[in-house]
Amino acid sequence: MSEKNQPLLSVEHLSVEFISDKKKLRSVDDVSFSIKRGETLGIVGESGSGKSVTVTSILKLLPGNAQIPEGQIVYKDQAILPLSEKAMRKIRGNEISMIFQDPMTSLNPVFTVENQLVEAIRLHQAVSKKEARQEAIKLLGLVGIKEPEKRIKLYPHEFSGGMRQRVMIAMAISSTPSLIIADEPTTALDVTVQKQIIDLLKDLQERMDTSIIFITHDLEVVADIADKIMIMYAGQVVESGPSTVIFNNPLHPYTRLLINAIPKANKQAGRLPTIEGNVPNLSDIPKDACRFADRIPWIPASAHEKSPQLREVEPEHFVRCSCYQHFEFKEKVDFKD
């Protein structure tokens, strides 16, 4: 198998628990996936689905009350979980970088962009301040910031939201990482700027041959960047597969309802479709049952499996619970619209 076809990162049967009032609350339950070099994986789910906890585990940045009782994470044939903090620092921010949702809280407001970019560059490269500054200017230009020689001297609040996110991307690629984790990087931006940021990430990926894990609650956003998509709900993967398959042949009720909720330009004005109910709290997640059952109450209980497992229904297309075989919308939906 060529290096290109080998997994850069593989996560196998990962589970994460939080200790609260002496109770163990499982926020990630038996999650598995892999990503190859130059590939983009989109992880989609509502708040509380476990998507951010999953990727935080990759970087070993979980809070003190969290533990990983099961699973393994392998990066470039090296197991991540047994590594010491010293060993992780050589990977974190260097080989694996992260772009956060809100750049305003990620950038230090009392330091200029120059200070912060130069520090990030020198943290992973043995270069002088002068060399790091030149590299920082080059990076700002690369991410589409005009007049980088002037704007590098500005403070974060002097940039727009989209420009701040470009600064964060410049910081993330400063070490030429093999993997970029983008955690809701477009959520706080308007639609036009979202498109610009996604196009920028795609362009940088092509230039650097890097892999991207793109986390979002918006299935429409990930459609434009992901090679494959993983849908998470209440800590579990409920469907995964190639992007084209997920959009052309969605099976799990949650996936189908998410796609149905995407606004369509050719539809008449009216109330947008919504998904009934909410993601359950960690303490209320049902055991040995379909976790999505209470959000589709019009589907009979007999349609749900007792302990639903992911099944491969076609090559590389996995679905949890046989309820998809019985699911139907309350109102007729045409996915081709």
| Domain extent at residue 118 | 96-176
Report if residue 122 sits inside a domain.
yes
Report if residue 182 sits inside a domain.
no
Report if residue 276 sits inside a domain.
no
| Interval 172-177 mean pLDDT | 93
Confidence (pLDDT) at 337: 46
- For residue 27, pLDDT over 60 is answered with yes
Confidence (pLDDT) at 335: 46
Take residue 77 and report the two structure tokens written for it.
């044939």
Report if residue 124 sits inside a domain.
yes
Report if residue 88 sits inside a domain.
no
Report if residue 335 sits inside a domain.
no
Determine if the pTM surpasses 0.85.
yes
- Closest to 246 in 3D by CA, of 268, 216, 222, 263: 222
Length of the chain counted residue by residue: 337
Report how far residue 33's alpha carbon sits from residue 320's, in angstroms, rounded to the nearest whole number.
14
Confidence (pLDDT) at 3: 62
| Interval 281-304 mean pLDDT | 89
Which of the pair, 190 or 108, is modelled with greater confidence?
108
Report if residue 255 sits inside a domain.
no
Could you tell me what percent of the chain has a pLDDT over 90? 69
Q: Which of 27-31, 122-126, 167-171 has the lowest mean pLDDT?
A: 122-126
How many domains does the chain divide into?
A: 1
| Interval 253-273 mean pLDDT | 79
Take residue 126 and report the two structure tokens written for it.
């043995």
Q: Phi/psi zone of residue 13: left (φ > 0), alpha (ψ -120 to 50 degrees), beta? A: left
Residues 6+ apart with CB under 8 A from 208: 173, 176
Report if residue 296 sits inside a domain.
no
Task: Provide the β-strand partners of residue 199.
Answer: none
Query: 58 falls in which pLDDT band (50, 70, 90)?
Result: very high
